Amino acid sequence: HGRRRRTRGMILSRPLRWRCARSLRALRTRRSWVTQSNSDGKPTTVPSPPPASQLTKLVLVVAVALIDRSELQNPKCLLVQRPAGKPMAGLWEFPGGKVESGETPELALAREIKEELGVKVNVERMQPITFASHTYESFHLLMPLFAADEWEGELKPLEGQTLQWVGVDCMRRKAGGAEAEIPMPAADIPLIDTVVTAMIGES
């Protein structure tokens, strides 16, 4: 028998201590698992969350479909072209921006629209209509989209953007991916149909 060591009432032989140490090292180097119960009450195992170094950065932004209904039979939606020097420059998008710490999406949107376009939107009159969840190369974008057809002031491109009012037919036929006449960011493209529905007033 190998030499033994007494620890708090237990006697472990040196070979046993070596086996325990090897087992602990193996557990540390392989992926850990968590035991849970499924709907039948039977235990099951699922992978533990990945380490922080493998997590994707989550970016929370908010946007709005500003709808002009001054021509009842021809509603239009405002699109904003991202200026040169910014990521995804030249693409057309729904106006908005990042949600800062401590802000609700509605308050963040009101602030961004005031800063970017110089108008005041009524937070209580904005309606959430859909959201985007899209993974880009270096981050994951989560973007609630609101619709609003009332604002105060004159729209002005205060950050060097180009503004364009787009009708229903134009939005359907010309807005889309990189090859479209009105190219949009990948996260915005799936939102087009919902925006068109909001423009024509369908529930």
18-32, 59-73, 169-183: range with lowest mean pLDDT: 18-32
pLDDT band at 16 (very low <50, low <70, confident <90, very high): very low
The secondary element (H helix, E strand) that includes residue 127 is strand 127-135
pLDDT band at 202 (very low <50, low <70, confident <90, very high): low
Residue 19 CB partners (closer than 8 Å, separation 6+): none
pTM above 0.85, yes or no: no
- Return the pLDDT at 34: 43
pLDDT in tens, 157-183: 999 899 999 999 999 999 999 899 999
E strand spans, the chain: 4-7, 10-13, 33-37, 43-47, 58-68, 76-81, 92-93, 96-98, 120-121, 127-135, 140-148, 151-152, 162-167, 175-176, 182-183
Please say if the pLDDT value at position 188 is more than 70. Answer: yes
